[in-house]
Structure 1
């Protein structure tokens, strides 16, 4: 299966980097099965970015968590990760909390909206997907294929 990673640079050797802010599935190396989503990631700062393509080969010996859709468990997991609570999964996969959904999650975390209100607001305009790699063993499932420039929306 092909996966894409949008970045400001070519990423031939993926890394797990600790960042200032916690992400949906905690710190990890994030990819997607949707090329257009990777283009948005790569060009999100208004500059030329790069779409890195990888061949992904699942390893049944790894510890996976997969969310097929947005569920109560998905929301609770994201809230936990964004609060800085780590997990023991090698790979986590599921829908992405895009910028709009991120604001709803933050409002839910801050107690500004109820769980019911979150679900009422949480409707994607397009499908999203993310798969995050949290250990070196998980990164070993990726084989770099190529990198190409991304200029914003695909033509």
Structure 2
């Protein structure tokens, strides 16, 4: 049994299968997390100061088919998010489509998907990668910096049968929590801005695994945070 949390603007005792939106990180389903502090933050983000609710559940995950994107590498995670959320910038979208073709994992039989959460303000990081402005390591570092945390996504009807509501409570964030979150977001935006300036004015060339390199060389994830750079095309 796993204790999970969902931040919202209302109490959700009975999560509804296919009751969400298709253009979220992993598609239409129910998003939870094992990190209670993250659920409080998401509740404040998705709700209002008067209606920010953390819903608490027990989730029975044994005998469920789980796709853990953390075990498949950052490229698989980016491809999964891009395939569901889409990309508005035209050039980034072109690269994103190719990345999806090469690296999106098969989640058709998944009951649950685990992986990072990419809220709206952090999609700029993915877009910067697709535009070859940052490398794969920097994508991962920026998401760790934001402490967005892992999410557990209920995808199948079978998964929805395994979740049980325990309680709900009003979410509160301290002034320090808010300031830390704003600081990290500013730091991420500042880093991306400085990188663009270096590329445009100084001719800086991004080292490491960029999106261009990843689509020119189909890479194998080694399972330890690294990729095999040998082309298997």
Give me the TM-score of the superposition, normalised by structure 1: 0.81
Partner of 1:17: 19
Q: Which has the larger radius of gyration?
A: 2
Q: Where is the helix percentage greater, Structure 1 or Structure 2?
A: 2
Displacement of 1:28 in angstroms is 0.9
Partner of 1:66: 68
Partner of 1:136: 157
Is contact 2:20-2:30 (8 Å) kept?
Answer: no
Structure 1 residue runs of 5 or longer lacking an equivalent are: none
The reply on whether 1:80 has 2:83 as its aligned counterpart is: yes
Q: Where is the strand percentage greater, Structure 1 or Structure 2?
A: 1
Displacement of 1:43 in angstroms is 1.1
* Partners of 1:29 and 1:57 in 2: CA distance: 15
Give me the TM-score of the superposition, normalised by structure 2: 0.56
**Larger relative contact order (CA 8 Å, sep ≥ 6):** 1
Moved more, 127-136 or 7-16: 127-136
Q: Could you say what secondary structure the match of 2:70 adopts? A: coil
* Partners of 2:70 and 2:139 in 1: CA distance: 19
What is the aligned length? Answer: 150
Structure 2 residue runs of 5 or longer lacking an equivalent are: 88-99, 101-105, 178-233
* Partners of 1:18 and 1:135 in 2: CA distance: 13
The reply on whether 1:31 has 2:32 as its aligned counterpart is: yes
